[in-house]
Chains A and B, each alone.
Chain A
């Protein structure tokens, strides 16, 4: 069981994520192979690459969501600071408490109001929260997600009654209400219109001050706009595992790629 005291949490906060010799499988299918990379704290790291190259698999491995699918397993290690997230004594639930996730399709809880949605993470982690603390947390989280002004008068309304972009921001508010150290986002804008996308991108730019953000995106302009570091994943052929081709500062990777596969991809020659 990974128990975290407050002191541990502070050391945690500025911890980098180190992925080493990491592989993930779906049953017998080897989805990603030999991944080695470092995710810097309080920065935005983008994972890009053609469809099926294992970006989502990599992302879902970081908060141990991958293993919730039947037959899914991993090899190698992912560390957050000094803690091996796949260590034998680490509780995956505790990992997910510290590493939040935003999905491609907005998924607020339809049975809960906007307010309850924001507080749902706190309650699902088994914590009680008083009324005024709860109200403060709701306002703080919704402000951080740039949603407060448009929903502050309708907090009791159902979370599913919002527009797609608002729902996604509600999901971000829900994820940051539990004060994670890391925020994983799997194509958070791909179901949204350009205006909502711009709003979320602006939000990500603000979030990087407090959170380590890892974002999967298909949109290379978006990767360049929001990220500090970019990791390019690629797959050499059908049935083969995805691999990390190169990882580096975003400006550098896009202006001066080291590998020809990267150059081809960012030039739009495939994928």
Chain B
């Protein structure tokens, strides 16, 4: 075999040989790639199955209707933590979305020169802030304003905003840059002031992408534990006022259930897993929704 054989045989005879060997290589490579892909998926699948199998046990009406007030051992639920997560994340969203989108509009539509470069640099730095540092910052700010040791939901929201704003800026910036320059020119040539062309033409064109970016930003912060542990604290009972007092959240709930198992540790672990299942569910749904919204825009273009 080899070169000499190859030359002696006619092309027609020798060609299939080359093909089979390539086919074999192809198949081997394919199998290896699929194997590695499976390997990479394994932790994810194992994580999902673990959370689901351990979480469904306490995924019951009581879990969604009662708090942990006065509960020792079995029973109780996480409704206070669910509300806390919704309120704190919602407030963080109200703070982050306008600031992040405005900053992105500035960077894309107006930003030239030093200020824009500085802002871009700051966003890069902010992207890398460890979440505990964001928590410490919020803690310090609220200690100065309201006295040391005060805890509230809104302090948590501010800490989370520090983490969410750079995500919103980055994704919105990308979406705004995708709006074709022709659209800007068309608006300006119609006698539109720049601000109005941004409001009526550019933002509507980028809106679905911006929305899906904001949703990914929410996914980024909704599972944060450390900063909330610092500034929002923890409580066993319901608190619907973000401006006053400690507020439980799902991640902190998980942590505290796991950390303070009493003698009936199974009950505490069950609640922790159910809260984890809930959290993963929210993130999964948000991710899928964001993908769907983004896909729909691409179709429109």
Q: Within the complex, what minimum Cβ distance (angstroms) separates A198 from chain B?
A: 24
Report B196 CB to chain A, min CB distance, Å: 6
**Residue of B at shortest CB range from A125?**
B191
> Which of B8-16, B65-73, B200-208 participates in binding chain A?
B200-208
Q: Assess whether A107 is in contact with B190, with CB atoms less than 8 Å apart.
A: no
Q: What does the 1/0 interface line of B199-230 toward A look like (CB < 8 Å)?
A: 01100110100000000000000000000000
Q: Report which B residues bind A (CB closer than 8 A).
A: 112, 180, 182-183, 185-193, 196-197, 200-201, 204-205, 207, 300-301
* Contact yes or no, B190 A70, CB < 8 A: no
| B189, A65: Cβ atoms closer than 8 Å | yes
Question: In the complex, what residue of chain A is closest to B203 when comparing beta carbons?
Answer: A111
Inter-subunit contact A109/B188 (CB<8 Å): no
Total contacts A to B, CB within 8 angstroms? 74
Interface residues on A, range: 20 to 34
Interchain CB contact under 8 A, A124 and B182: no
Binds B, one of A40-48, A74-82, A91-99, A146-154: A91-99
Chain A residues with Cβ below 8 Å from B180 are 107
Contact of A107 with B112 in the complex, beta carbons under 8 Å: no
User: In the complex, A125 Cα to B194 Cα: how many Å?
Assistant: 10
Is A215 an interface residue, CB under 8 A from the partner? no
Chain A residue contacts of B201, Cβ below 8 A: 109, 111, 120, 124
Interchain CA distance A123-B204 in the complex, whole Å: 15
A101 and B196: CB pair below 8 A? no
The smallest C-beta distance from A92 to any residue of chain B, in angstroms, reads 9
Which one, A65, A94, A124, A158, contacts B197 given CB within 8 A?
A: A124
Asked if A103 lies at the interface with its beta carbon under 8 angstroms from chain B, I say: yes
Task: Tell me if A68 and B188 are in contact (CB < 8 A).
Answer: yes
Q: How far is the CA of A171 from the CA of B186 in the complex (A)?
A: 9
Given the interface pairs A110-B301, A124-B201, the reply to whether A103 lies near B186 with Cβ below 8 Å is yes
Interface contact A175-B190, CB-CB below 8 Å: yes
Is A105 close to B, CB under 8 A?
Answer: yes
On chain B, the residues within 8 Å of A98 by CB distance are 191
Is A174 positioned at the interface, with any CB of B under 8 Å from its CB? yes
Complex interface: chain B residues within 8 A of A126 (CB): 193, 196
List chain B residues, Cβ under 8 A from A109. 183, 186-187, 201, 205
Is A178 part of the binding interface, using a Cβ–Cβ cutoff of 8 Å? yes
Residues of B within 8 A of A125 (CB): 190-192
Residues of B within 8 A of A171 (CB): 186
A108-131 vs B, CB cutoff 8 Å, 1 = contact: the mask equals: 111100000000110111100000
Q: Is the CB of B112 within 8 A of A70?
A: yes
A-B contacts, 20 listed (Cβ < 8 Å)? A93-B193, A96-B191, A101-B189, A103-B189, A107-B180, A107-B183, A109-B183, A109-B201, A110-B205, A111-B204, A111-B207, A120-B190, A120-B201, A121-B192, A124-B187, A124-B201, A125-B192, A126-B193, A160-B300, A178-B191
Whether a CB of chain B sits under 8 angstroms from the CB of A100 is: yes
- Are A124 and B205 in contact, CB atoms less than 8 angstroms apart? no
Residues of A within 8 A of B190 (CB): 96, 100, 120-121, 124-125, 174-175, 178
Alpha-carbon separation in the docked complex, A171 to B190 (Å): 10
**CB pair B189 A105 closer than 8 Å:** no
Alpha-carbon gap, A261 to B189, bound state (A): 33
Please state if B189 and A96 are interface contacts (CB–CB under 8 Å): yes
Chain B CB within 8 A of A63 CB = yes
- On whether A93 and B301 interact (CB within 8 A), knowing A110-B205, A123-B200, the answer reads no
Cβ distance B179 to chain A, nearest Cβ, rounded Å: 10
A98 and B217 CA atoms in complex are apart in Å by 44
Question: How far, in angstroms, from A127 to B28 measured CA to CA in the complex?
Answer: 67
Contact A124 B301 (CB under 8 A): no
Write out the residue numbers on chain A whose beta carbons fall within 8 Å of the beta carbon of B196: 124, 126
Distance from B81 Cβ to chain A, minimum over Cβ atoms (Å): 40
Query: With the chains together, A93 CA to B182 CA distance in Å?
Result: 17
User: Which B residues touch A111, using CB under 8 A?
Assistant: 201, 204-205, 207
**Do A100 and B183 form a contact, CB below 8 Å, given A70-B112, A110-B301, A124-B196?**
no
Residues on the A chain within 8 Å of B112, using CB: 70
What's the least CB distance linking A10 to chain B, in Å? 19
CB pair B191–A94 under 8 Å, yes or no, is yes
